[in-house]
Chain A
Amino acid sequence: MERNLMKGNEALAEAAIRAGCKCFFGYPITPQTELAAYMAKRMHKAGGVFLQAESEIAAINMVLGAASTGVRAMTSSSSPGISLKSEGVSYIAGSDLPAVIINVERGGPGLGGIQPSQADYWQATKALGHGDFQLLVYAPASVQEMVDYVVKAFDRADKYRMPAMILADGLLGQMMEPVTFPEINPEAYDKSGWAANGHKMKREHHIINSLYLKPDELENSILERYKKYDIIKETETEAELYLTEDCDILVCAFGATARVVKSAVNDARAQGIKAGLFRPKTLWPFPVKEINEAAKNAKKLLSVEMSMGQMIDDIKLAINCSKPVEFFGRTGGVIPSPAEVLGEIKRMGGAL
């Protein structure tokens, strides 16, 4: 199979096109710019639509419009831009529309910085807009995984009629790695029962809508959506467990940070400390079963994040606070080093 050296942002774009994405609407922001630039070059050759919108808000609503007609649509941005898109994401979720949103995170809050960050974990998994809703959140840790999860995000978005996010960061977006594009035959989901693409006088009119003025109707629509979420929580979790079988210290990390942690875990093992790595690949749904499996013999857990500590909440909830969970993080665009993480592991190991 063909193997290419590609920048993360460009690989995301190419994967989307190969996954059958027919339109991209975006607005420039560092550090995801190459994604839109790649789309601008490639999309029309692939028979699709590239359009630079006047704002993040317009871009996500263009996605809503295209998705309403049953077309595979996506947008991408970075942290401040995702905040602007949150209104549209809420409407997409409330209208049961499939769409893919990519966040190549940078430091915040506010304008923050342009270096890698994971400080949008809460936003992505808890509150990407108003109201009761979730979106699927994938956390790739390599350029290859970004390709694979873009393909999966489009599929699952269609399957469940809901938004799906790739939560990457500036490190993954900007780095180059060898990547292989799998043979992709996107499953064609039947959207004829709901898509608003012109009824041709052959069916009742379709309405794409998130407004329910009667409370019981709104409640019922949300209950239906949550039944779907329950199925997703059962079937869609994914995680990597590395050297967890006998580990005393279970280090938890996602995305690019997990690669730093893996080095630190290997270094710890070389020094006789039984460390292991738990890496959630889906952040929502959080891999509850998998982390309990990984943590079954651990004495302590450590969450390492490029933030002030956000995933740590889900870790504590997932293990029901049954073991101590400590935190180490760098934030503001600073990437933790393997030596720093090893230092934390040794500190915790020494106290065992």
Chain B
Amino acid sequence: MAVVFERPKSLIDVPTHYCPGCTHGIVHRILCEVIDEMGIEGDTIGVCPVGCSVMAYDYFNCDMIEAAHGRAPAVATGVKRTNPDKFVFTYQGDGDLAAIGTAETVHVATRGENIVVIFINNTIYGMTGGQMAPTTLPGQVTQTTPFGRSPELAGYPVKVCEMLSQLTGTAYAERVAVDSVPHIKAAKKAIRKAFENQKAGKGFSIVEVLSTCPTNWGLAPLDAIKRLQDEMIPYYPLGVYKDVEEGVFPKTEGGNE
């Protein structure tokens, strides 16, 4: 009998620690499908963040490095500069990438580091139990915004793709979502494109994935998907924010000049 559906080989066959209904599993899967389809598992080094995906090194079968909170882009830079022939990706949440790691995020992009950043935006800190994230929507109730996020008190959400697309070093920035089959297919296509960019030496690519956090949103999984569609996508429009034909800083051997 022909096998028509199976686990990607680069996704280790173990139970994950993610909550029921969490979309990390979907993103892990499509990322691993891309790694398998490109046949690059043996040449890929991933960098995990601090956050819910802190233990992703137990799920991805490529070599993995755990970074301090917010520092994944710097760690990835150290890896890529010394191993320009390897594929390097980070997998980061919103608190990691857009709060504590903002400087690392902006500068990895502006240097045009030839890496892929997978950015999970679920508008909340999951691992620590549901605090306000830099991407928390105005009015959204979290543990640290019990009356809803007030822009007067806590500022406005960071729109990462919009911000990074302004930087010359960014080769590719696309926002996708994993709320429906067509969107998941588009998300996988975007991740594939990001890795192809790296292969072609185009420079910095980021794929922002709008995701859910049923546990900390206090919603059933399906209601969480609905919130993503009804509240998040209007605030964070899907689409390609930057896509250059040629990278501006293709890195040569050794990474200098």
Partner of A198, one of B44, B68, B255: B44
Q: Which residue of A lies closest to B39 (CB)?
A: A201
Give the shortest distance, in Å, between B213 (CB) and chain A (any CB): 20
Q: Which residue of B lies closest to A44 (CB)?
A: B256
A-B contact number at CB 8 A: 145
Q: How far is the CA of A58 from the CA of B63 in the complex (A)?
A: 21
Q: How far is the CA of A87 from the CA of B254 in the complex (A)?
A: 27
Task: List the B side residues contacting A57 at CB < 8 Å.
Answer: 71, 74, 103-104
Q: How far is the CA of A210 from the CA of B86 in the complex (A)?
A: 23
> Which of B60, B64, B66 has the most chain A CB within a 10 Å cutoff?
B66
> Which of A65, A91, A210 has the most chain B CB within a 10 Å cutoff?
A65
Task: List the B side residues contacting A95 at CB < 8 Å.
Answer: 66
Q: How far is the CA of A49 from the CA of B111 in the complex (A)?
A: 14
Flag whether B241 is at the interface (Cβ < 8 A). Answer: no
Instruction: Contact check, A198 vs B45: say whether CB atoms are below 8 A apart.
Output: yes
Instruction: Contact check, B256 vs A65: say whether CB atoms are below 8 A apart.
Output: no
CB contact list, B39-90 vs A, under 8 A: 41-45, 47, 54-55, 57-58, 60-68, 71, 73-83, 86
Flag whether B257 is at the interface (Cβ < 8 A). Answer: yes
> Interface stretch among A68-76, A171-179, A270-278?
A68-76
What interface size band does chain B fall in? 35 or more
Instruction: Contact check, B71 vs A88: say whether CB atoms are below 8 A apart.
Output: yes
Flag whether A25 is at the interface (Cβ < 8 A). Answer: yes
Q: How far is the CA of A43 from the CA of B67 in the complex (A)?
A: 26
Partner of B83, one of A197, A201, A202: A197
Flag whether A319 is at the interface (Cβ < 8 A). Answer: no
Give the shortest distance, in Å, between B91 (CB) and chain A (any CB): 14
Instruction: Contact check, B43 vs A58: say whether CB atoms are below 8 A apart.
Output: no
Give the shortest distance, in Å, between A50 (CB) and chain B (any CB): 6
Instruction: Contact check, B65 vs A65: say whether CB atoms are below 8 A apart.
Output: yes
Partner of A62, one of B41, B58, B78, B103: B78
Given A65-B78, A68-B75, A205-B63; A48-B254 close (CB under 8 Å): yes
Given A199-B62, A202-B42; A69-B74 close (CB under 8 Å): no
Flag whether B107 is at the interface (Cβ < 8 A). Answer: yes
Given A66-B82, A201-B41, A208-B66; A58-B103 close (CB under 8 Å): yes
Task: List the B side residues contacting A68 at CB < 8 Å.
Answer: 45, 65, 75, 78-79
Instruction: Contact check, B78 vs A198: say whether CB atoms are below 8 A apart.
Output: no
Q: How far is the CA of A91 from the CA of B68 in the complex (A)?
A: 7
Given A65-B75, A198-B83; A43-B256 close (CB under 8 Å): yes
Flag whether A51 is at the interface (Cβ < 8 A). Answer: yes
Flag whether A263 is at the interface (Cβ < 8 A). Answer: no
Contact with B along A1-29 (1 / 0, CB 8 A): 00000000000000000000011010000
Interface, chain A (partner B; CB < 8 A) = 22-23, 25, 43-44, 47-51, 53-55, 57-59, 61-69, 71, 73, 87-88, 91, 95, 196-202, 205-211
Closest 3 pairs (CB-CB, A-B): A65-B78, A61-B74, A62-B78
Give 14 pairs: A residue, B residue, CB < 8 Å, sorted on A: A48-B254, A50-B256, A55-B103, A65-B77, A65-B78, A67-B78, A196-B79, A198-B43, A200-B43, A201-B41, A202-B42, A205-B63, A207-B57, A207-B58
